[in-house]
Amino acid sequence: MVAEPARAAGPASSAPLLALDDVTVEFAGRRRLGRPPPAPVRAVDRVSLRVDRGEILGLVGESGCGKSTLGRVIAGIIEPTAGRVAIDGRDIASYRGAERRTLRRMLQMVFQNPYGALDPRMRVDAIVREPLDANGIGSPGERRERVAKALGLVGLGAQHAMALPGKLSGGQQQRVGIARALVTSPALLVCDEVTSALDVSIKMQISELLLALHRELDLVYVFISHDLGVVRRLATRIAVMYLGQIVELADTASFYAGPAHPYARALLTAVPIPDPAAERGRARLLITGEVPSPSNPPSGCRFRTRCPFAQQRCTDEPPQLRQIAGARTVACHFPLIGADSG
Amino acid sequence: MQPARTDSRRPDPAPVASGYSLIVRDLHVHLRSRHGTVHAVNGISFAVKPGEILGIVGESGSGKSVAMLAVMGFFDREAARLISGSVTVGGTEWRELAAPDPWSSRSPELAIIFQDAVSSLNPVLTVGSQMTDTLMARQPKSGGGMPRPAARRRAAELLDLVRIPDAARCLDLYPHQLSGGMCQRVMIAMAISADPSVLIADEPTTALDVTVQSQILDVLLEIRQRTGMSIVMISHDFGVIARVADRVQVMYAGRIVERGGVDDIFSRPQHPYTRALLACSPRIDRGEQASQIIPGAPPDMRLAFAGCPFAARCAEVMGVCRRDEPALRPVGSGAVLERYAASCWLPRIADAGNGDGR
């Protein structure tokens, strides 16, 4: 039996729990007979990011921006083409064999479609126990105990443990998905659109459950979502992605008070508010057109083709992420707030 | 099976006069399923005025989509165990909502667009040929179809209307060459090509990104502005409803539990379900909002239950709620189908319905 993946095992406690340095992920395009090989699609392009203990990082952006791919890199499901992912200051590529399995238990993932993520022919208790079986954690008695505890944490009881996933509601299925992720006592949970398939009333039940688990278990989340309302409720910090890059990083309060990057501003103002009076008086930053292809991104700033404020410099020179005001970092030559001389 | 009109049931007093582009009276839809009959829609009545956007909001399984599919005449006797009620559109009342020949039960005044625009389009035909086929086959108000060149010109105009850049080029593209947002624009263009008086939009932006959603909502608002078309907007998103609707009805368990003007519903919701749903809708404009949670889940619509369908989850439940089902009662004055109304036994609602209201 392998020892517990003690979080204290990490060397320097000053190192962030998760650090990404210049992480890039490329996917080869589909080859077709008689045609030149297509350019690889760069889904994630030189992303650097730190997530500390106690944080919930909201990773937001629209379809195809690379947020799910980045989540999979963080969870260790896919390996980056280039760059470095470190947990507690240690590069995860340096973990081998048994050590690597131990690492895997620290990093777990919950998926969007709860039903699709659960084997329809396995009972709930077996689904939740599977990570323990696969990793050889604990004796059969200990495994039973851990499964019961994980189910208890997500608000499911013994009557649910014997059920097949198909007999459960969408919200209950998502709770099973969370219990399965919790059973190995992870330090970091990557939640990929976990509330997106759920109805409003169930969405809030799951959000509140995640918040409670964050407090009780000292769990860190990378919470990937396109739902900026739910993200506001959960996240302590927000990272906005566009075409594979992070364009703005800010603490939740400053972000929702007004994003500095034009894309982030457009994204936030596009979300309708359930208040007709507020909607009528709302100033929107409208953007037109569609996201360009990630296999052939624009030169300079990737958002310039849709940006109402784009100038020549945006075509010539890609903006770097830089700190502008407070804990706010933005990749824009002409940010909407805190614009000291670029 | 007879198209059952249960006379014992007292429908909402229905408006006799016109002045509405769509009137639905006492609509019931019970669907067959492998696990028993689903009582999807249970006696709803409502009306839509010309040029009005009626928002229908509710969670999955509330019956909002099924009701509008039945209004469109999309169910046949195979799928529907019972489908009753009437739909009045363009001055004609349709009582056979599940006729053997579906075309005879569909009014040309009604059109519908769906959530998944990409799969609603034919993948092997160009946008242009799908649109011209429709125009050539049916142009009801001018009687008969158009010749192809005219249809093609009209198709390009329609794509312009939904703000597709370079409409003429788009006609020669296949659906897979378009983004989800563009496909939805094409769907809207096709839906309005027969110049219907009511467009039913069933979660038209749910599958889209927010910036694209915003553009599509603007397109719908603009079409309403330019053509005076009524729109029935079905959505689970209170934000979308707040942005576009003039009036709102909230559905739960196949019933309308509350309806009224958009400002009333959002600023003075009466029904506990509407209040709870609004309180737990995640909002970008509020930080530490009170985290109210609606416990439990909606009722299983295959099972019979007594009383108010929301009783089991309601924070203000009383004894009577578990015994008797509250009717949708108009509160205040005005035309019956437009008046502020809610179905709840709470005194603040039930008593207001008896007096003159507000």
Exposed e or buried b for every residue in B231-258, given b needs 16+ CB within 10 A? bbbbbbbbbbbbbbbbbbbbbbbbbbbb
Interval B32-58 mean pLDDT: 93
- List all residues 6 or more positions away from A272 whose beta carbon is below 8 Å from its beta carbon: A279, B213, B214, B217, B237, B239, B240, B242, B243
Interval B274-283 mean pLDDT: 89
What are A223-253's pLDDT values in tens digits?
Answer: 999 999 999 999 999 999 999 999 999 999 9
**Residue A24 and residue A46 in contact, taking contact as beta carbons nearer than 8 Å:** yes
Question: In this predicted structure, which of A67-76, A158-167, B35-44, B299-308 has the lowest mean pLDDT?
Answer: B299-308
- Contact A155/B at CB under 8 A: no
What's residue A112's pLDDT? 87
What's residue A115's pLDDT? 84
The domain defined by B1-109+196-283 carries CATH number 3.90.1170.50: no
Identify from B185, B205, B211 which residue to disrupt to test chain A contact, counting A C-beta atoms within 10 A and taking the largest count: B211
Which residues of chain B does A256 touch, with a Cβ-Cβ cutoff of 8 Å? 284-285, 287
Model confidence band, residue A3 (pLDDT cutoffs 50, 70, 90): very low
What's residue A296's pLDDT? 86
Tell me which of A48 and B74 has the higher pLDDT.
Answer: A48
| Cα distances (angstroms) measured from residue A57 to each of A190, A198, B121 | 10, 21, 38
Distance CA B5, CA B274 (A): 30
Strand partners, B259: B249, B341
What's residue B304's pLDDT? 79
**Residue A214 and residue A34 in contact, taking contact as beta carbons nearer than 8 Å:** no
Q: How many other CB atoms sit within 10 Å of the CB of residue B115?
A: 18
Lookup: tokens for A286: 């409208």
What's residue A155's pLDDT? 92
Cβ pairs bridging A and B (under 8 Å): 123
- Contact A202/B at CB under 8 A: yes
The CA dihedral of B41, B46, B51, B56, to the nearest 10 degrees, is: -40
User: Looking up tokens 């998944």, which residue turns up?
Assistant: B116
Interval A143-162 mean pLDDT: 93
- Contact A9/B at CB under 8 A: no
Model confidence band, residue A14 (pLDDT cutoffs 50, 70, 90): confident
Strand partners, A50: A19
| Cα distances (angstroms) measured from residue A98 to each of A3, A104, A133 | 10, 10, 15
Interval A267-290 mean pLDDT: 90
Lookup: tokens for B319: 């004894």
Name which of B217, B195, B214, B245 is nearest B52 in CA terms: B245
**Residue B185 and residue B159 in contact, taking contact as beta carbons nearer than 8 Å:** yes
Check: pTM over 0.80? Answer yes or no: yes
DSSP secondary structure, A222-282, as one string: EEE-S-HHHHHHH-SEEEEEETTEEEEEEEHHHHHH--SSHHHHHHHHHSPPS-HHHHHT-
What's residue B19's pLDDT? 86
Residues in chain A: 342
Model confidence band, residue B18 (pLDDT cutoffs 50, 70, 90): low
Model confidence band, residue B286 (pLDDT cutoffs 50, 70, 90): confident
- List all residues 6 or more positions away from A115 whose beta carbon is below 8 Å from its beta carbon: A165, A166, A170, A173
Domain with CATH 3.40.50.300 in chain B: 1-109+196-283
Contact: B209, A290; criterion CB under 8 Å = no
**How many Å lie between the alpha carbon of B110 and the closest alpha carbon of chain A?**
27
Distance CA B246, CA B243 (A): 9
Interval B153-174 mean pLDDT: 93
Distance CA A222, CA A181 (A): 13
What's residue B332's pLDDT? 63
Interval B32-61 mean pLDDT: 93
**Is pLDDT above 50 for A77?**
yes
**How many Å lie between the alpha carbon of A255 and the closest alpha carbon of chain B?**
10
A137 phi and psi angles, rounded to 5 deg:
-95, 125
Interval B110-122 mean pLDDT: 91
Distance CA B356, CA A175 (A): 48
Name which of B127, B266, B132 is nearest A278 in CA terms: B266
Question: In this predicted structure, which of A15-29, B27-41, B75-89, B308-322 has the lowest mean pLDDT?
Answer: B75-89
Beta strand A220-224 pairing with B53-57? unpaired
Distance CA B198, CA B191 (A): 10
What's residue B141's pLDDT? 53
Question: In this predicted structure, which of A152-161, A181-190, A332-341, B173-182 has the lowest mean pLDDT?
Answer: A332-341
Tell me which of A43 and A115 has the higher pLDDT.
Answer: A43
Contact: A273, B242; criterion CB under 8 Å = yes
What's residue A290's pLDDT? 81
**How many Å lie between the alpha carbon of B93 and the closest alpha carbon of chain A?**
34
Model confidence band, residue B35 (pLDDT cutoffs 50, 70, 90): confident
Identify from A211, A261, A271 which residue to disrupt to test chain B contact, counting B C-beta atoms within 10 A and taking the largest count: A271
List the strands of the sheet with A18-27, edge to edge: A41-51, A18-27, A82-87, A90-91
Q: Using CB atoms and an 8 Å cut-off, which of residues 30-69 of chain A contact chain B? A: 62-63
Q: What is the mean pLDDT of chain B?
A: 85
Model confidence band, residue B291 (pLDDT cutoffs 50, 70, 90): low
pLDDT > 70 in chain B, percent: 85
Which residue type is seen at A21?
D
Beta strand B198-202 pairing with B38-48? unpaired
- Contact A226/B at CB under 8 A: yes
What's residue B103's pLDDT? 59
* H-state helical runs in chain A: 67-74, 97-106, 124-135, 140-153, 158-161, 170-182, 200-217, 228-234, 252-257, 262-270, 276-280, 312-316
- Contact A286/B at CB under 8 A: yes
Contact: B297, A227; criterion CB under 8 Å = no
B27 phi and psi angles, rounded to 5 deg:
-80, 125
- Pick left, alpha or beta for residue B297 (phi over 0 → left; psi -120 to 50 → alpha; otherwise beta): beta
Contact: A279, B243; criterion CB under 8 Å = yes
Name which of A274, A246, A322 is nearest A49 in CA terms: A246
**Is pLDDT above 80 for B337?**
no
Tell me which of B192 and B194 has the higher pLDDT.
Answer: B192
Report CA Rg, chain B: 21
Beta strand A322-325 pairing with A18-27? unpaired
Question: In this predicted structure, which of A31-40, A313-322, B74-83, B330-339 has the lowest mean pLDDT?
Answer: B330-339
